[in-house]
Amino acid sequence: MGTEVKSTPRERLLEAAATLTYRDGVGIGIEALCKAAGVSKRSMYQLFESKDELLAASLERRASAFVAMLLPAPDDGRPPRERILYVFERVERQGGVPEYRGCPYLAVQIELKDRSHPASRVAHRVKEDLTAFFRGEAERGGARDPDLLARQLSLVFDGASARAGIGADDLAGLVAPTVVTLLDAAGVH
């Protein structure tokens, strides 16, 4: 007999919120979220104050996996330039997957528009952390203006993931040369 562990209603709601909002957007209704999770609305409101809180918790829950998938390990021994390029190689690879809809954290920020929304605050922090990663690597790599380079790299990241997410562009062979040009211009080695 198997020892399959059943997920809790909370876990099912968080997973449904992550899956449905990524696929359909943050406007997904509570009915659809509860149905996908196999949880009653009453149970959802016992676990979360609101749909907004559920969305924020869902984004928070996935943040560490998103970062782990995107960023190189802190102690991987690569030089800063290669560590930055690693991130964009991951974006290029993801952009080629048919179900890719872009960066989930950028999508939430764009859709919600309200920076005070709990889910928007989580998304904003995750995106700030990515920019901080770029800034730290730019500093270690000797960039002339690490802050500017970090902002430029974030702009390329968001633009690339958004264009791939809407199917407007194939990122292969486009993103890495763009980033290399920025790194060269900034003096990153």
Give the tens place of pLDDT for each residue, 107-118. Answer: 999 999 899 999
Output the CA angle 167-92-133, nearest 5 degrees: 120
At 5, the pLDDT band (50, 70, 90 cuts) reads low
Could you state, in order of their start, the residue ranges of all structural domains in the chain?
Answer: 52-186
Classify residue 76 by its DSSP letter: S
C-alpha span between 11 and 66 (Å, rounded): 17
C-alpha span between 162 and 166 (Å, rounded): 6
pLDDT of 71 = 97
Mean pLDDT of 7-26: 95
- Cα dihedral sign, 133-136-140-146: positive
C-alpha span between 103 and 164 (Å, rounded): 10
CATH class of 52-186: mainly alpha
Give the tens place of pLDDT for each residue, 161-179. Answer: 999 999 898 888 899 999 9
